[in-house]
Structures are given as structure tokens and as C-alpha cells.
Amino acid sequence: MLNLKKSLILAIVMVLTANTYAVQKGDWIIRGGLTNIAPQDNTGGVVTVDSKTNLTATIAYLVTDNIGVEVLLGLPFKHDINSGGVKVGEGTHLPPTLTAQYYFNETKAGFRPYVGVGYNYTFFLEDKITITSGGLAGGHLKMGNSTGFAYQLGFDLEISEGYGINLDIRRFNIENKAHITNIASPMEFNVALDPTTIGLSLYKEF
């Protein structure tokens, strides 16, 4: 058992300190995987939005050995909107984001953590009221688009030459204005989603 632990520790050290393929100025990094987006509850439980997981991809370009620019893309996220524990509607959105990144460690390091700050544009593709009884039944829901800052923390871990795995955590500032019409008393209110996302991806360096 002791030898197994020593071997595991040695393997981890070798991965983290190995002189591997150099990602440097002028290189591209393409990542693709799954991301879970978890909106915050900023209404005291009056309105909640559930978390969802979907496919995402990023394209990053190294402007210098340590500074990169990244674009976040992905498939639409479809969320259930709940009130009082009951589903009342649905919202489908895309959150494309442009991010400036700083990569730590040397370019030949097999483990490269990074931080980033970016700007997000969230637009809703489809929103609707789904409840069929009560005061909201038959209403029309419209979620406004929004812009805001996004903050990022992640790392790349190379597992073979030019290939590796990526873990990415982001926090978005997303505040939308929601409109519900075609009901007895039309409503307009702010929805501060401010989601946290966690993504796990594979990547390829070019």
C-alpha cells in the first residue's frame, strides 16, 4: 500500500513538472466539453431558476506567452422557472463571452492555471409561461437581453503532447428585465441570475 501511494505521488509530480509541448505566443487552444450553469437565488425564493448542463466550446489565442484572449460558445441552455416550488415557465438563452486571460507557469509546464476577466452578452432565444392554471395562465413571458462582466478561474493539465483536460469556473453578472403580458395585471420585474458555471473539457493546442 505504501509503495502504491509513493507511485501515485511520483506520477502526479511527473505530470505537473514535466517538460511538455510548449504552448506559447501565437498558439491556439480549442476546448470542448460540458458546462453546468447554476443561477443564483436573488429573490428570496419568490422566483427560482434551475441549473442545467450542456455542451460548450472555447477558442483561445495566446497574444503573448502568458496573455490570452478567449471566446466562449455553446449550445443553448434551457431553464425551468419556478415560483413557490411550482414550474411556471421556461427560458432558453445563450451566454457568449469574450475574456482576457492570464496564464501562470512557464510555457512548457504541463499544468497551467489561469485567471480571466471578460464581458458577457446573454440573449434569450425563447421564453414562455407553461403553467395552465392561476393568474399567470395564458400569459406571455419576455426576458430581456443583458450584458455584464464575467470572472474566470481555471487550469489546463496536459496528458499527452498537445492534448489535455481543462477545468473552468466562472461567475457571471447577468441581470435581466422580465415582462409578463396577456394577463389581468401585466408584470415587469428584474431577474438577477448571476450564475456560477463549472466546466470540464478536453483541449487541443495548435
pLDDT of residue 20: 52
Nearest to 205, CA basis, from 167, 156, 170, 169: 156
Name the CA dihedral angle for 108, 114, 117, 123, rounded to a multiple of 10 degrees.
90
**pLDDT 10s digits, 35-68:** 999 998 666 666 788 899 999 999 999 999 999 9
Query: Pairing between strand 146-160 and 140-143?
Result: unpaired
Residue 16 pLDDT exceeds 60: no
Provide the residue ranges of all domains of the chain, joining segments of one domain with +. Answer: 2-205
pLDDT of residue 3: 58
Beta strands in 47-136 (DSSP E): 48-49, 52-62, 67-74, 77-83, 86-94, 97-103, 111-129
Nearest to 156, CA basis, from 6, 21, 49: 21
- Cell numbers standing for residue 159: 496528458
Q: What CA–CA distance (Å, rounded) separates 149 from 97?
A: 9
- Look at the domain 2-205 and name its fold: Porin (2.40.160)
Q: What per-residue string of b and e applies to 147-157 under the rule 16 or more CB within 10 Å gives b?
A: ebebebebbbb
